[in-house]
Amino acid sequence: MARYTGPKHKLARREGVNILDKNSKTLQRRLTLIPGVHAKARRKKLSEFGLQLRAKQKAKNVYGILERQFKNLMTSVAKKRGNTAELLIASLETRLDNLVYRLHFAKTRFQSRQFVSHGHIRVNGKKVTIPSFAVKVGDLIELDSKIQAYTEIANLLKEELPLVPFVEKKATVGKLIRMPQIGDLEVPFDTQLIIEYYSR
């Protein structure tokens, strides 16, 4: 299963988005700085294509998806009827690894992906090890009892963190109650630029 294994701080700095979900002051300061020793001298105003490319790269890095998988997702979204931007967000947000993160079963999307691939997540009572598994409305997502014993996870489950509007949670069981919409989230990238990139 292909995944990004390089330094994640570099991705966060390049995109200017805290994809690590850490609140350290050092990271927050670095997000405002351009990567590279001579970056300020090299930085130029982006072309229209450059803006589209950066939006696409930001979406990929935020959700932890590689190029081929993201392209396939966009191809399937383009074939569906409806608002393409809404369908894109819905497809990204209903990935199993993302919903594990949204339900606060894991601190980051990277950690939630690991939980899924290691078999710590059950959907409707069955173990699922595919991070890109498309969760449907009404599906129940459950954290395996073994992983709950870890102190870090036990402490995370005790915290009463706010949930996004399209999920609900009771203890270690979460549920997708409706399809996500753009208005439910603060989307850190321009979906229209991504659509334009793939419609060239």
Helices within 118-190 (DSSP H only): 145-148, 151-158
Instruction: Name the strand (E) or helix (H) holding 23.
Output: none
C-alpha 97/C-alpha 102 separation (Å) is 9
Predicted structure pTM score: 0.81
Please indicate whether residue 160 or residue 99 has the higher confidence score (pLDDT): 99
Give SS3 for 175. strand
Nearest partner of 104 among 150, 163, 48, 53, judged by Cα: 163
What are the boundaries of each domain within the chain?
A: 8-91+187-198, 95-178
Most confident segment among 44-48, 77-81, 186-190: 77-81
Would you identify the CATH topology of the domain 95-178? 3.10.290
Query: Which one has a higher pLDDT value, 85 or 152?
Result: 85
Dihedral of alpha carbons 170, 172, 177, 181, sign: positive
Lowest mean pLDDT among 19-23, 42-46, 53-57, 115-119: 19-23
pLDDT in tens, 136-170: 999 999 988 888 878 888 888 888 888 999 999 98
pLDDT tens sequence across 38-71: 555 555 677 888 888 988 988 888 888 889 999 9
| Assigned CATH topology for domain 8-91+187-198 | Ribosomal Protein S4 Delta 41; Chain A, domain 1 (1.10.1050)
* 197 pLDDT more than 60: yes
Nearest to 108 by CA among 62, 168, 176: 62
